[in-house]
């Protein structure tokens, strides 16, 4: 069997006849492998170009400046109003007390993997339907010291004991997101919160800057030192969470030609930093008036908290004696253990 090292230099011509024919064969195989591997590289590039042409996540916003000029100014001093809840007289078993209005329409079933279902339709559906989403503003450093700062709203806190967080990195044409690359390389990050006054700077960091350009510079936001991880905190954020990677799930079975891999990353907090003056005396509750969180909605929309209402959570044992409805459910409950 002819064993070939595709990366070997072409062999120099030997003197004997047998050796010469073997030499020609070996060199032909090497040439073929080189041609096919460079053909593969071209095919790969073609795939990336095709993927790039199909990539519609970043929507053209048309003449956005003109549209925005017609809108009222952002009111920085608007207090967060506290109202009653939508149906304060609600009782157990009432469902949605709107005279059946919310049951008026049928639902349409969608198979997200149907061959005629474009990926972009799934994107638009999930980001407009799962809203508002908190924004994890993530600071990372590559193993060779390149700094990165980008927003992610496929993001959530999962638990408090231990404090756990998840981030979803979407695929894109060509290379993976720099944040994901850094997180995978170093296992470290800082998750920072996003308040109303930060949103233009945060949105700007989502630009597809080339690897090696720091979004700290792009945004003008300020770095503050961390203690348990290398990446900096965002000094403007009310809450920052230093964290280390616990697990990564890459969706290799779903990778498309020319697109980077998509991945979910599970992060465990190693430190909290909370801004003085935004939190109560024992550092356990952040004032929403000070946090002023921004949520990401569908399309290019963001939302602020304009009003809140309260609704206490109840305990079964205390509620059953007060409610005939719950007492009936309690009496009829299955005894299966």
Ligand X SMILES: Cc1cc2nc3c(=O)[nH]c(=O)nc-3n(C[C@H](O)[C@H](O)[C@H](O)COP(=O)(O)O)c2cc1C
Residue ranges in contact with ligand X by CB under 6 A: 135, 148, 150-155, 168-170, 177-179, 203, 206, 208, 296
Half-sphere exposure of 278 (CA within 13 A, CB side): 18
Nearest CB to ligand X, comparing residues 49 and 130: 130
- Scan for tokens 């300020």, then name that residue: 222
Which residue spans within 142-280 are E strands per DSSP? 147-152, 155-160, 163-169, 188-192, 223-224, 233-234, 239-250, 263-274
Alpha helices in the chain (DSSP H): 17-54, 64-69, 119-129, 178-186, 199-204, 215-219, 288-291, 316-319, 324-331
Task: Look at residues 323, 314, 313, 309 and name the one whose alpha carbon lies nearest to residue 92.
Answer: 323
Nearest CB to ligand X, comparing residues 151 and 258: 151
In whole angstroms, how close is the CB of 66 to ligand X at the nearest point?
22
Nearest CB to ligand X, comparing residues 30 and 149: 149
Q: Phi/psi of residue 165, each to 5°?
A: -135, 155
In whole angstroms, how close is the CB of 101 to ligand X at the nearest point?
32
Nearest CB to ligand X, comparing residues 219 and 296: 296
In whole angstroms, how close is the CB of 86 to ligand X at the nearest point?
28
- Scan for tokens 């496929």, then name that residue: 154
In whole angstroms, how close is the CB of 189 to ligand X at the nearest point?
11
Q: How far apart are CA 131 and CA 153, in angstroms?
A: 10
Nearest CB to ligand X, comparing residues 177 and 233: 177
Nearest CB to ligand X, comparing residues 202 and 269: 202
In whole angstroms, how close is the CB of 169 to ligand X at the nearest point?
5
Nearest CB to ligand X, comparing residues 179 and 195: 179
Nearest CB to ligand X, comparing residues 132 and 163: 132
In whole angstroms, how close is the CB of 215 to ligand X at the nearest point?
6
The answer to whether residues 311 and 298 touch, using CB atoms and an 8 Å cutoff, is no
User: Is beta strand 263-274 parallel, antiparallel or unpaired with respect to 163-169?
Assistant: antiparallel
Q: How far apart are CA 10 and CA 29, in angstroms?
A: 10
Cα dist. 5→8, 26, 35, 40, 62 in Å? 5, 10, 14, 17, 53
Nearest CB to ligand X, comparing residues 26 and 196: 196
The answer to whether residues 270 and 255 touch, using CB atoms and an 8 Å cutoff, is no
In whole angstroms, how close is the CB of 264 to ligand X at the nearest point?
10
* Exposed/middle/buried for residue 98 (C-beta within 10 Å: 0-12, 13-18, 19+): exposed
In whole angstroms, how close is the CB of 8 to ligand X at the nearest point?
37
Q: Which two tokens stand for residue 73?
A: 């100014």
In whole angstroms, how close is the CB of 75 to ligand X at the nearest point?
22
CA torsion, ordered 300, 304, 308, 313, to nearest 10 deg: 60
């Amino acid at each position: 069997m002819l064993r070939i090292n595709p990366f070997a230099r072409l062999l120099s011509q030997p003197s004997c006849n047998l050796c010469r024919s073997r030499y020609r064969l070996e060199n032909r195989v090497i040439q073929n492998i080189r041609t096919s591997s460079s053909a593969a590289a071209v095919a790969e590039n073609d795939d990336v170009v095709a993927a790039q042409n199909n990539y519609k996540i970043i929507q053209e916003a048309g003449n956005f400046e003109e549209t925005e000029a017609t809108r009222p100014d952002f009111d920085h001093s608007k207090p967060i109003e506290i109202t009653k809840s939508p149906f304060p007289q609600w009782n157990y078993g009432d469902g949605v007390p709107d005279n059946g209005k919310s049951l008026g329409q049928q639902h349409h079933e969608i198979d997200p993997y149907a061959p005629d279902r474009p990926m972009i339709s799934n994107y638009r559906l999930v980001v407009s339907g799962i809203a508002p989403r908190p924004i994890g503003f993530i600071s990372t450093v590559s193993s060779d010291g390149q700094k990165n700062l980008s927003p992610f709203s496929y993001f959530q806190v999962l638990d408090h004991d231990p404090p756990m967080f998840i981030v979803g990195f979407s695929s894109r044409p060509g290379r993976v997101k720099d944040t994901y690359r850094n997180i995978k390389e170093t296992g470290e990050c800082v998750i920072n919160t996003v308040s109303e006054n930060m949103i233009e700077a945060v949105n700007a960091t989502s630009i597809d800057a080339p690897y090696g350009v720091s979004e700290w510079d792009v945004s003008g936001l300020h770095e503050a030192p961390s203690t348990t991880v290398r990446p900096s905190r965002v000094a403007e954020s009310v809450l920052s969470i230093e964290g280390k990677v616990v697990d990564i799930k890459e969706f290799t079975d779903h990778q498309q030609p020319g697109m980077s891999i998509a991945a979910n990353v599970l992060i465990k907090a190693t430190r909290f930093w909370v801004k003085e003056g935004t939190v109560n005396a024992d550092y356990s509750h952040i004032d929403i008036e000070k946090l002023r969180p921004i949520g990401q909605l569908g399309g290019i929309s963001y939302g602020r908290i304009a009003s809140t209402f309260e609704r206490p959570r109840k305990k079964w044992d205390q509620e059953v004696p007060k409610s005939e409805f719950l007492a009936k459910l309690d009496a009829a409950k299955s005894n299966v253990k």
